[in-house]
Amino acid sequence: MARMISPAGEMDMKFLSIAGEKNQLVVRAKFGAWDSKIYLAPEELAYFAGLMLNWSVIGLLVSFPFVLLGQKLCKREKKSQES
């Protein structure tokens, strides 16, 4: 579960779904106890995509499969040591 930290406090955030509706991207999420929908119009989606075009995000996306593989191998190793 993701965690949102703001001056108003900390809140757990769970993304439930992402869908296209008409000309918008709609993200359904649960913030704490509240269900919500986040609507991204085309210009907001383009801006968001632009924010993601930086070396730290690109590096994270490239390394992501290896991070997942490492986590799975560590979990498997811990299970085999417990048995």
Whether 79 has a pLDDT exceeding 80, the answer reads no
* pTM for the structure as a whole: 0.66
Residues 58 and 48 in one domain: no
Q: Which amino acid is at 9?
A: G
Distances (CA, A) of 40 to 46, 47, 54: 9, 10, 21
Q: How many domains does the chain have?
A: 2
Sheet holding 2-6, edge to edge: 2-6, 9-21, 24-31, 34-40
Whether 60 has a pLDDT exceeding 70, the answer reads yes
Residues 43 and 77 in one domain: no
Domain encompassing residue 33: 1-52
Residues 47 and 59 in one domain: no
Residues 48 and 65 in one domain: no
Residues 26 and 60 in one domain: no
Whether 81 has a pLDDT exceeding 70, the answer reads yes
Q: Residue 83's pLDDT band (boundaries 50, 70, 90)?
A: low
Q: Residue 56's pLDDT band (boundaries 50, 70, 90)?
A: very high
Q: Kindly state the tokens that stand for 75.
A: 């979990």
